């Protein structure tokens, strides 16, 4: 039962991680009275650095897609001023551009210093996932604040909290977005030599005999065992082959969809749907391959 639960948990991770999340880093906003002091080129550079940190912490190898400035501009409605949008409006904008997460930084002022604040929203539920705040005398110091805070800021999208990740066999394992809990296994088995352990009989301790009282021959249905073994091997081979083919086909479809360009919102959404479909096929294929390999192993060692 323990191995079955661990296998199901692993398959759940494989299938859930197959769905790529699209992350949009919008242009850095600025308060009206600071537009002359913090130029457009400065704000664009701050955005570029923030997007660069997103790529580092949310790589494509972990099924994240960071949308480019060109992607976002194509998806935006005409005349939309992103820099004037805050709070839940960011989540709405994220939904409009088909992003799963949307992030934006904003430059403000506190006393004599400039401030930088950034937020990430999950667009589906308008949920604030992470935020950070910093300050500095100029934009160079704001840039340092971004580089210092952005790594941990973006890691929260994956749910990278060491205190909440599950542990197996005394080691901590990172599970991506959301942990199931802590699982510990501590088994201590004491060894007792029954042949050398004395027993008490009529008040006297008598050494236990090492001779068996009687032997009962084991009855084993060899025909049933053979059917079970070969059934597991044949069924496992079928699942393994099907899973590999499905995973390769799904991975190819997802790759083609990701690399395809688009000229409209409809084409972008179509590419995204095709990519998700391919990733689902890949995840199911991986799961079938694992189950098939387990079946083959069971058949050989049964």
Is pLDDT of 170 > 80?
no
User: Residue 125: which residues within 8 A CB-CB, separation 6 or more?
Assistant: none
Per-residue model confidence (pLDDT) at position 193? 52
Q: How confident is the model at residue 90 (pLDDT cuts 50, 70, 90)?
A: confident
Per-residue model confidence (pLDDT) at position 175? 42
Instruction: Give pLDDT tens digits for 137-158.
Output: 999 999 999 999 999 999 999 8
Buried b (16+ CB within 10 A) or exposed e, 37-67: ebeeebbeebbebbbebbeebbeeeebbbbb
Q: How confident is the model at residue 302 (pLDDT cuts 50, 70, 90)?
A: low
Q: How far apart are CA 297 and CA 302, in angstroms?
A: 8
Is pLDDT of 120 > 50?
yes
| Composition of the chain by helix, strand, coil, percent to 5 | 50, 15, 35
Per-residue pLDDT averaged across 158-178, rounded?
Answer: 44
Q: What is the pTM for the complete model shown? A: 0.51
- Per cent of the chain over pLDDT 90 is 30
Listed residue (90, 130, 101) closest to 22, CA to CA: 101
Per-residue model confidence (pLDDT) at position 282? 86
- Per cent of the chain over pLDDT 70 is 67
Per-residue pLDDT averaged across 253-264, rounded?
Answer: 76
Per-residue model confidence (pLDDT) at position 290? 93
Which range is most confident: 106-115, 225-234, 270-279? 106-115
- The residues with which 171 forms a beta bridge, in sequence order, are 168
Q: How confident is the model at residue 2 (pLDDT cuts 50, 70, 90)?
A: very low
Higher pLDDT, 141 or 209: 141
How distant, in Å, are the alpha carbons of 32, 45, 114, 116, 142 from that of 39? 12, 10, 13, 15, 14
Per-residue model confidence (pLDDT) at position 53? 95
Comparing 102-111, 170-179, 274-283, the range with the smallest average pLDDT is: 170-179
């Amino acid at each position: 039962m323990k191995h079955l639960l661990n296998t199901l948990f692993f398959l759940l991770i494989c299938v859930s991680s197959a769905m790529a999340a699209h992350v949009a880093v919008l242009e850095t906003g600025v308060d009206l009275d600071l537009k002359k002091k913090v130029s457009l080129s400065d704000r664009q550079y701050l955005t570029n650095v923030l997007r660069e940190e997103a790529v580092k912490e949310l790589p494509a190898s972990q099924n994240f897609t960071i949308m480019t400035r060109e992607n976002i501009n194509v998806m935006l409605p005409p005349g939309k001023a992103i820099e004037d949008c805050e709070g839940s409006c960011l989540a709405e904008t994220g939904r409009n551009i088909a992003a799963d997460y949307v992030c934006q930084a904003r430059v403000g002022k506190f006393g004599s210093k400039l401030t930088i604040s950034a937020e990430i929203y999950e667009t589906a539920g308008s949920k604030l996932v992470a935020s950070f705040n910093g300050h500095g005398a100029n934009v160079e110091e704001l840039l340092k604040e971004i580089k210092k805070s952005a790594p941990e800021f973006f890691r929260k999208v994956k749910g990278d909290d060491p205190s909440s990740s599950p542990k197996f066999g005394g080691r901590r394992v990172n599970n991506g977005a959301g942990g199931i809990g802590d699982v510990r296994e501590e088994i201590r088995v004491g060894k007792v030599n029954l042949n050398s352990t004395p027993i008490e009989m009529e008040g006297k301790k008598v050494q236990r005999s090492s001779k068996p009282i009687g032997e009962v021959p084991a009855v084993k249905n060899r025909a049933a065992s053979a059917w079970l073994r070969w059934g597991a091997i044949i069924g496992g081979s079928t699942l393994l082959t099907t899973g590999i083919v499905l995973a390769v086909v799904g991975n190819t479809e997802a790759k083609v969809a990701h690399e395809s360009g688009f000229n409209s919102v409809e084409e972008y959404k179509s590419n995204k749907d095709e990519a998700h479909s391919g990733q689902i096929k890949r995840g199911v294929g991986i799961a079938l391959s694992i189950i098939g390999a387990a079946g083959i192993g069971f058949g050989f060692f049964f």
